[in-house]
Amino acid sequence: MQWQAIAVVLTSAVLSAGSGAGDDQPALRRAAEKSGILIGTAARPAQLSEAAYAATLAREFNMVEPEDALKWEVVHPERETFDFSQGDEIVDFAARHGMKVRGHTLVWHRQNPKWLTEGKFTSGELAEILEKHIKTVVAHYRGRIFAWDVVNEAFDELRPGSLRSTIWRDQPGIASSDELRAASNQVRSESEARSWQPAYAYIERCFRWAHQADPQALLFYNEAEAEVVNAKSDAIYAMVRDFRERGVPIDGVGFQMHIANLRADVASIAANIRRFTALGVQVHITEMDVALPVDAGGNARPEDLERQADLYRQIASACLAQRGCTAIQTWGFTDKYSWIGSHSKRTQGAALLLDRNYRSKPAYEALRSAFEWERR
């Protein structure tokens, strides 16, 4: 008991001294709420027992997304087994702290369990498995997860504008012309169905299944390296426009925003956000971090931290400038826990808003001031 009390005192001392969120300065969350935008972060259930982690998460954010806890390998470890324990921890935490939850992700080519990837299923079996997965997971969180990344990273960076070859798309893929015909009253014969069928027909099926499981949830297509106007975002734009025209239930597009280039083209990011919101869908920035070169101790150069802050501010401003851009989410919040370290073999890091000791960095202040000054 005594130790707990001391820990609480120490933790709050660190937090109020270091996070920039003391009495005189409103926290990020409050600033975001005043400016009418959601501020979110990815989070890992294993860290929730760390007092500083949990307190910071609840104080600074009004939205949270399980970083890995809802991916197939965690939630669907065996064909007949669903395990929601990790996802539930995050969702329960969010409920206790009045935070919204984004779900990530129902269909992806990574972090899938072996029983699935090595199961040698036929197209029909795979469609059945995926439909059950989507409907079971979405229904479990009906009313508690307000937005889902239904499909993640379906477009290929190596073949601009084309879909990636995956188990879901063509290895063996889930699309069947019968079902497509039923989904579209524009076509009558099977040959017509085949010629009509766009390559992204499988994505359409996923959105329809998710919508059936929770008609209230906002359904997003989420993508990497499509934040600027480029061949990938052009292809996504064409797909989303087609979905909207044909009434396929899509509500938004997520741009991941993993940035490793301090000269990122912010004007192009702004133009891209503008053209997508003009289609009538929401835009969420879903996984923002700005990776910096770091030394062996994980430290970045002070001038890079300033340039990083500029990017956070400019990208937040680009989002705030469009009413349809409704959320900004970072991929974690403390440099203590960020995927960038392992992803870059420790050559990059320091990508988030708070340092390893939960002290605010220039990027934190930049984001907060963008929320304070650029009210909608």
Of the listed 60, 67, 131, 153, which one is catalytic? 153
3-state SS class at 221: strand
Residue 237: count of CB within 10 angstroms of its CB: 17
Q: Minimal CA–CA distance to 146: which of 274, 252, 261?
A: 252
Residue ranges in 220-239 that form contacts with ligand XIL under rule CB under 6 A: 224
**What's the angle, vertex CA 339, arms to CA 253 and CA 350, rounded to 5?**
100
Q: How big is the site for ligand XIL, counted in residues (CB under 6 A)?
A: 7
- Looking at 60, 65, 68, 214, which residue binds ligand XIL (CB under 6 A)? 68
**241-270 mask for ligand XIL (x: CB under 6 A)?**
---------------x--------------
User: Known catalytic residue: 153?
Assistant: yes
Residue located via tokens 């930049």 = 366
Q: Which two structure tokens, joined as six digits, stand for 239?
A: 């797909």
Residue 339 interacts with ligand XIL (CB under 6 A): yes or no: yes
Give 19 or 152: the residue with its C-beta nearer to ligand XIL.
152
Residue ranges in 70-99 that form contacts with ligand XIL under rule CB under 6 A: none
Residue located via tokens 């490793």 = 260
Residue ranges in 276-335 that form contacts with ligand XIL under rule CB under 6 A: 287
- Looking at 40, 56, 61, 67, which residue binds ligand XIL (CB under 6 A)? 67
CB of 325 to ligand XIL, least distance (A): 19
The alpha carbons of the chain give a radius of gyration, in whole angstroms, of 21
User: Known catalytic residue: 131?
Assistant: no
- Looking at 56, 112, 152, 233, which residue binds ligand XIL (CB under 6 A)? 152
Of the listed 89, 131, 227, 287, which one is catalytic? 287
Q: Minimal CA–CA distance to 10: which of 49, 52, 48, 47?
A: 52
Give 67 or 131: the residue with its C-beta nearer to ligand XIL.
67
Please state, in angstroms and rounded to a whole number, the distance separating the CA atoms of residues 277 and 204: 20
Which helix H or strand E contains 222, and what residues bound it? strand 218-223
Q: Are strands 292-293 and 252-255 parallel, antiparallel or unpaired?
A: unpaired
Evaluate whether 250 touches 179 at the Cβ level (below 8 Å). Answer: no
Q: Which two structure tokens, joined as six digits, stand for 75?
A: 């939630």
Amino acid identity at 81: T
CB of 193 to ligand XIL, least distance (A): 32
Give 102 or 313: the residue with its C-beta nearer to ligand XIL.
102
Residue 112 interacts with ligand XIL (CB under 6 A): yes or no: no
Q: Which two structure tokens, joined as six digits, stand for 90?
A: 């995050």
Residue 148 interacts with ligand XIL (CB under 6 A): yes or no: no
Give 224 or 264: the residue with its C-beta nearer to ligand XIL.
224
Residues within the interface to ligand XIL (CB under 6 A): 67-68, 152, 224, 256, 287, 339
Positions marked active-site: 153, 287
